[in-house]
Structure 1
């Protein structure tokens, strides 16, 4: 069974399964992000007016990023002890059920404060599920990859992010057209706000069923199977990785920080700034118009992920990421040329071409920085702690680079202008550059031979 991973047709099945799974998980995650800006402030936080309601909704959005490291610890433990396959099935199931439950929730107008409390609980559950998803999907790809093509294989699950975003926001765009929903003049009694917004959450269960079907047909990765045959299973992968790979955890976390910050500025925060009312300091562009611009820009995100996978195998992960992250810092410093209201305008007079250039530039950089992450983070850790180590790094970065970003960016924009938000991105980028400078190139790493010198003291000798 372990040797099946070397077969080309099986590798293709692995790629398809990892791509389908991450697409579904990110679809579930993004429909919440979109609703957090356009729907939830009106239905779950009406007690706060304008900016207060938006900030409250953004806070629940950030709850999932606090939950994600918990998910990486929980699912990482079983992923390193039981296997990648079973753990990935569990994470997808949890994510799917939490998303479906959000679609059934009564609103603040129906049950009062219990509504935002339940919303927060299910958002937390989404975070736990996604916390276990990414590293498992990345390991499916990296641990079955052809020699010298690991970054190329690992970029396929990364495509789930733009694909999920396109599906989620394309679905919302279609609904706003069908329901003739206008975010600038929305009232709670409109059909879209009454029940239409629930459809993406409820219908996501069909995608989850497809994902489960695909993943249940997989076998364990050959690298993990060989590690089990050598008796390298640990009693506590988490304790081991913190004790012996603390440096790699820290470096992995900050390597990912700028990527997270860039993405959630280009999606969640910019959406709230773009469609928010002019009287509150925003651009006042219609939700539907702005969403079209975002969907176009995400095509650049998807297009540059394969480019980054190829380049990461050719010139190395570290060199590529240093170049791209430096470009992200420069992009952050350029915000004042894109987002100044004197240049961009507001409402119907807003310069949509300039906005599209801004979004497309950010998303192109996002594709280039996100693609290699599913290769470089797993390559930092040995097989028996790889699920835990890569997952914890990835999801700790989500707190620093994603959970705080929409909230902090909204506060900065309200107090210092949207142009100043770019300085926040530049700081995140600088921290990633520092981490990369302290990281060795991992392109030539042999995933099978990464065994710590002290591992023998911690290996559980009993049979699985």
Structure 2
């Protein structure tokens, strides 16, 4: 394969033509990305639930309840720090050897590290080594997750017809929503079928060890799908870049920063509405664990439905408009959420979690297509994954980590203001980016940016 970092901008070389994948094959492609992402983010998500429910006791017992919870969520945040590095690492190979082979590697890394978490001795057994090893395994999960979402999204978007790109590109995110349902449902079943003591002793390990059974299914599905036509034509006609990371920052640094800001809101809503509110409901509000987990499952249903709704609407009214609608709703809702939750009403919690996740889903649905449409093919895997991972640090890692100290010092409304501020940042970034659904994925970003936008 010829490697030419300047090939895409060479006027003597025609860009590869767009060839939309046939509808029957699109279903297979979407299913492959969906199943793979379910497995990947089930693995990633069960750690968040465990961090809320049991890790403070099992791995940080010497710190006490409050500090143990902060430390537990800090290990959750470590993965978000690792995700950008995973985006760079796996994006490099995804832009050089292809989307398919790279996604197989991310699944193997995620699956192995998750199973090892399920086998981990606790602090009572091996002392301080336990939290250190947990952090290391969480870093491996973060590296895998950093290469997963962007690649899964591109795997679908680069097969999709432009008119339905938003819908098809939402399937990886839809898989993430189903993973939220599965991870919380698994913990709910274990909580309902065993005592708290049994759950703390070994029951929490079941969701992690169950991941082993899912890895084979995911690998089989991904091995059965061909490389994306956009990448295959790019590699055949003009070659691939040697340095996708440096090319991305050389040609589109502003787009990477704007895409990061535009994505931060969705991840803040997802990780506050998911793992953090599970901890807040069972700890601060002292609600029953089965009830909290049941509502968390409903939150997964809410985000899954909203992902598909937001994606379908984005093909009609545009990515920008759909994300802006979600952003405005997010500002209003986040200022309302914690005063509502602090009534300690079961009804308030049953409303708070699903609504938060639904708003997140409305913005997440168009996100796969929205990010894919911003970057050139030769470094799209790297740039898309990096933007998403950096947004994960800003929106997914930091808010749950700072929530407890902010709420204890200034009250829960102050944390709602932080969430509303993140939503405002995303709104501004989306307004600056503009509409993207008119772009072809196999044309150079210079020609795409200079082309007159079509009416949305």
How much does 1:450 deviate?
Answer: 2.2
Within a 5 Å distance, the mapping from 1:56-455 to structure 2 comes to: 56-181=71-196, 190-276=197-283, 282-340=284-342, 344-345=343-344, 351-452=345-446
| 1:49 matched to 2:64 | yes
How much does 1:180 deviate?
Answer: 2.7
Count of aligned positions: 431
Contact preservation (8 Å) 1:249, 1:389: yes
Output the CA distance in 2 between the equivalents of 1:273 and 1:404: 16
What are the Cα deviations for residues 318-372 of structure 1, in whole angstroms up to 9, with x where unaligned? 11111210110111121354133xxx23xxxxx2112112222211101101111
How much does 1:3 deviate?
Answer: 9.7
How much does 1:398 deviate?
Answer: 0.7
How much does 1:155 deviate?
Answer: 0.8
Contact preservation (8 Å) 2:181, 2:298: no
Distance 1:180 1:237, change over 3 A: same
Partner of 1:348: none
How much does 1:104 deviate?
Answer: 0.8
How much does 1:46 deviate?
Answer: 0.6
Aligned residue for 2:227, secondary structure, equals: coil
How much does 1:420 deviate?
Answer: 2.4
Contact preservation (8 Å) 1:304, 1:368: yes
Partner of 2:23: 8
Output the CA distance in 1 between the equivalents of 2:63 and 2:177: 32
Aligned residue for 1:233, secondary structure, equals: coil
Partner of 1:40: 55
How much does 1:7 deviate?
Answer: 2.6
Output the CA distance in 1 between the equivalents of 2:258 and 2:217: 36
Contact preservation (8 Å) 1:339, 1:418: no
How much does 1:4 deviate?
Answer: 9.1
- Structure 2 gaps of 5+ residues are 1-16, 448-456
Contact preservation (8 Å) 1:335, 1:421: no
Aligned residue for 1:400, secondary structure, equals: helix
How much does 1:232 deviate?
Answer: 3.6
Output the CA distance in 2 between the equivalents of 1:313 and 1:19: 19
Contact preservation (8 Å) 1:135, 1:390: yes
How much does 1:418 deviate?
Answer: 2.2
Aligned residue for 1:109, secondary structure, equals: helix
Contact preservation (8 Å) 1:328, 1:429: yes
After superposing on structure 2, the runs of 4+ consecutive aligned residues of structure 1 that deviate more than 6 Å are 2-5
Distance 1:98 1:336, change over 3 A: closer
Output the CA distance in 2 between the equivalents of 1:227 and 1:33: 38
How much does 1:426 deviate?
Answer: 0.5
Output the CA distance in 1 between the equivalents of 2:94 and 2:338: 45
Aligned residue for 1:77, secondary structure, equals: helix
Output the CA distance in 2 between the equivalents of 1:283 and 1:4: 54
Aligned residue for 1:26, secondary structure, equals: helix
> RMSD of the TM alignment (CA)?
1.5
Farther off after superposition, 208-217 or 224-233? 224-233
Output the CA distance in 2 between the equivalents of 1:437 and 1:419: 27
TM-score (norm 2): 0.92
Output the CA distance in 2 between the equivalents of 1:114 and 1:58: 18
- Structure 1 gaps of 5+ residues are 182-189, 277-281, 346-350, 454-464
What are the Cα deviations for residues 77-109 of structure 1, in whole angstroms up to 9, with x where unaligned? 000010000000000000000000101111111
Output the CA distance in 1 between the equivalents of 2:201 and 2:20: 48
Distance 1:312 1:41, change over 3 A: same
Contact preservation (8 Å) 1:269, 1:410: no
